[in-house]
């Protein structure tokens, strides 16, 4: 009887330890910062334009104070950011449009009768990694749709879909941060000429 009870105790302890390990793995996080440096040299803009806060049209995983962008494949590690995605994209676009020659007025939403304005929809955003032994592959993707409004009506919609894939040995969040910045720079490089032409 004692042996049977001891066996149950050992089995129970193993189950608890296994559960703790699994829970621990599931909560491992790798943090990426959302940064940006101007990437275009588009000119020809002038006058005032309204830039609305981008609309997030993606279902992200959420945790308190954090957004889940992706994961490290076949591990319990999630790639997260504590930064605001809308603010990140709005800041990048505002910087690029300002250097293109516009006076930027940022607003929560476009005024109904706006003379010239831009509203971006974030249709896709991801950051994932694959662990291949010594090498870690970082893949990012982004889809943005930019609405150009003139004289109170929608004038044109531009859509870009970009991504990047990089390999390295750094297992911190820095490669994800760099890849996300490069992906947004690529999106801005494709969007800016069309936005300036449409405005």
CATH superfamily placement of domain 29-198 = ABC-type transport auxiliary lipoprotein component (3.40.50.10610)
- The answer for residues whose C-beta is within 8 angstroms of residue 178's C-beta and 6 or more apart is 166
Please tell me the pTM assigned to this model.
Answer: 0.84
Query: Which has more pLDDT, 7 or 42?
Result: 42
Domain range annotation of the chain: 29-198
**pLDDT score, position 22:** 42
pLDDT at 11: 52
List CB contacts of 86: < 8 A, sequence separation 6 or more: 53, 54, 55, 56, 122
Helix (H) or strand (E) holding 7: helix 2-26
| Alpha-carbon dihedral angle through residues 40, 46, 50, 55, given to the nearest 10 degrees | -20
Return the C-alpha torsion angle 72, 78, 81, 87, nearest 10.
80
Residue 19 pLDDT grade (very low, low, confident, very high; cuts 50, 70, 90): very low
Condensed to tens digits (0 to 9), the pLDDT of residues 46-80 reads 999 999 999 999 999 988 999 999 999 988 899 99
Angle subtended by helix axes 174-198 and 85-100, to nearest 10: 50
């Amino acid at each position: 009887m004692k042996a049977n009870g001891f066996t149950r105790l050992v089995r129970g302890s193993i189950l608890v330890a296994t559960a703790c390990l699994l829970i621990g793995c599931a909560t491992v996080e790798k943090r990426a910062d959302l940064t940006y440096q101007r990437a275009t040299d588009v000119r020809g803009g002038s006058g005032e334009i309204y830039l609305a806060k981008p609309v997030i049209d993606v279902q992200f995983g959420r945790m308190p104070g954090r957004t889940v962008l992706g994961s490290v494949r076949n591990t319990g590690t999630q790639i997260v950011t504590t930064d605001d995605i809308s603010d990140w994209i709005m800041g990048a676009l505002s910087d690029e449009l300002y250097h293109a020659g516009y006076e930027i007025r940022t607003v929560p939403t476009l005024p109904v009768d706006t003379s010239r304005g831009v509203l971006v929809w974030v249709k896709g955003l991801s950051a994932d990694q694959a662990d291949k032994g010594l090498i870690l592959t970082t893949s990012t993707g982004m889809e943005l749709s930019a609405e150009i409004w003139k004289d109170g009506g929608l004038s044109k919609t531009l859509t870009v879909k970009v991504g990047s894939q990089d390999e390295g040995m750094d297992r911190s969040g820095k490669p994800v941060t760099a890849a996300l910045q490069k992906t947004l720079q690529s999106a801005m490089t494709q969007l800016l000429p069309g936005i300036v032409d449409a405005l």
